[in-house]
Amino acid sequence: MTAITFNGVTKSFAKHPGRLLLRDRIAHLLKPDRKERFFALKNVSFRVEKGEGLAVVGPNGAGKSTLLSLVAGLARPDSGTVSSNGRIAALLELGSGFHPDLTGTENVRVNAALLGLSRKKTNDLFDSIVEFSGIADFINEPLRTYSSGMVMRLAFSVAINSDPDILLIDEVLAVGDQAFQTKCFDKLRQCRREGKSLLCVSHAAGMVQELADHAIWLDHGELMLAGSLRDVVAAYEGSRIDASLRP
Amino acid sequence: MKHQYSFVVSGLVQKDFKIRYRNMSLGMFWSLLNPLVMMGVLTFVWTKIFVNNSIPHFPVFVLCGLVPYNFFTLAWATGTVSIVENAGLIKRVPIPREIIPVTGVLSNCIHLLIQIGLLLALLLAFVGGPNRHWVWLPFIWGMEVIFVCGLSMITAAVNVFVRDTRYVVESANLILMWLVPIFYPFDIIPAAYRDVYQFNALAALVMAMRNILLENRAPASSLLINLTMSSLVMLGVGLLVFRQLSTRFYDHL
């Protein structure tokens, strides 16, 4: 079964998203100009089979995050189709929905709901979420007293414990200290063994090495290469070395 | 799925509520202070400056108008800015987007309940005991909440594309202070304008409240039908507009 299918997907944004005030809207009505568009993805197709791990590599601005937003259903493609099977947990920006004035406990509960956990599931999983985060001592303190590493730990714990079928991860593995990172990787590997699909994005190819079997390489919205992780990463890194050697 | 929906909404409403009251040293007292001060000022103006003694229990009469007005304006303003202010959620967390403006409206309901408590307490103290028509109160309040949810969905969605919308809403709220029978009774409105007032869900609510609380009678059935119809139509239109526009939120936030 296919977990994620991208079929000829193109996504563009208006280059000047400035026209947000009434004045600009009226001016635009009176004198329409041709909108210049920025293409974040150009005719991209790929599939992720169930239980497969796919890494998306590419430089900044290649369209990696846009791709994840499309999979998560946050944005819609201009053309082409995006489809997915199964419950998705999108770890796009850890702690979206966290609020500094709420305590760790309160934030965990709100975030669990946002990630699609039921009330009962949240209660059942609460202890394991807190335990995984390793900050049980501070869980009843307001979030603003946490260090940024602690916030990330808590956010990652909620997301990873929400038991999704498909995990979307956007550069979020730079979480916490070395010990916690190792813990996160172990947990992600365990998810893979349990047959969960994974789509992760990174501009540092080394990070994804152990989590994915296949990879696609994006550059300026175009699919440069798709194949086994080793081949794609080698080609991508090779191109970067070429670029840096060029005068 | 339905349970999930309510879990998310209740979680977000509790979040808003906790944030709002945790940062106020006087907590819920603020919810009482604003209507009390407004009630005092309006009573002073209309019984001492423009002397008008035809209305008995003027402070309670005014409060019957102020409580729904306060809720309506606050909830509408909160609902309108909700999408833009929660851009982080809209762009990063896949949840049904309608939840956001609905949460914005509902998070003002606790505020509303406190003010209703104040109104009923003053009513019992100065006017008289409850009557059997009080059973209508939850219904007419429910209709107002539905109406504001529908209206907020429209303005919240439009506010993403035209950011001045929130200022238009603020101005409209100021105008409503005068166009809703808050400090004047419905009876003195010239007959030609009365029908229009009935379609203003806020004015209809104030009228129904006074029927029930001060005049000891059930609201006219035509009033209740108009209130119900306008609320449901507003919710339907709100959902349609919101769904249509929400597909492009990501690109404009």
Q: Tens digit of pLDDT for each residue in B94-132?
A: 888 999 999 999 988 888 888 999 999 999 998 887 888
pLDDT number for residue B245:
92
Domain that holds residue B106: 2-252
Confidence band for B155, pLDDT divided at 50, 70 and 90: very high
Least confident of A98-102, A234-238, B197-201, B216-220: B197-201
pLDDT number for residue B81:
94
Torsion of CA A159, A165, A171, A174, to 10 degrees: 50
pLDDT number for residue B10:
86
pLDDT number for residue B238:
96
- Across the interface, whether the CB atoms of A20 and B18 are under 8 A apart is answered no
**Side chain identity at residue B105, one-letter code:** V
Residues of chain B contacting A90 with CB distance shorter than 8 Å: 92-94
Tokens 């602690």, located at residue: A150
Which residues, given as ranges, of chain A have pLDDT below 50?
none
- Across the interface, whether the CB atoms of A75 and B8 are under 8 A apart is answered no
The answer, for B15 touching chain A at a CB cutoff of 8 Å, is yes
The residue of chain B nearest to residue A170, with distances taken between CA atoms, is B92
pLDDT, chain B, mean: 88
pLDDT at B173 over 60: yes
Segment B140-168 mean pLDDT:
93
ipTM of the complex: 0.80
pLDDT number for residue B83:
94
Domain count, chain B: 1
CA of residue A86 relative to chain centroid, distance: 16
pLDDT number for residue B109:
87
Q: Whole-model pTM?
A: 0.86
Torsion of CA B27, B33, B34, B35, to 10 degrees: 120
Q: Within 13 Å, how many C-alpha atoms sit on residue B107's CB side?
A: 24
Nearest CA-CA distance, residue A161 and chain B, Å: 16
CA of residue B205 relative to chain centroid, distance: 10
Nearest CA-CA distance, residue B89 and chain A, Å: 6
Contact yes or no for B137/B221 (Cβ under 8 A): no
pLDDT number for residue A204:
63
pLDDT number for residue A133:
87
pLDDT at B80 over 90: yes
A166/A187 Cα distance (integer angstroms): 14
Residues A27-63 as b/e (b if ≥16 CB within 10 A, e otherwise) read: eeeeeeeeeeeebbbbebebebeebbbbbbbbeeebb
pLDDT number for residue B174:
93
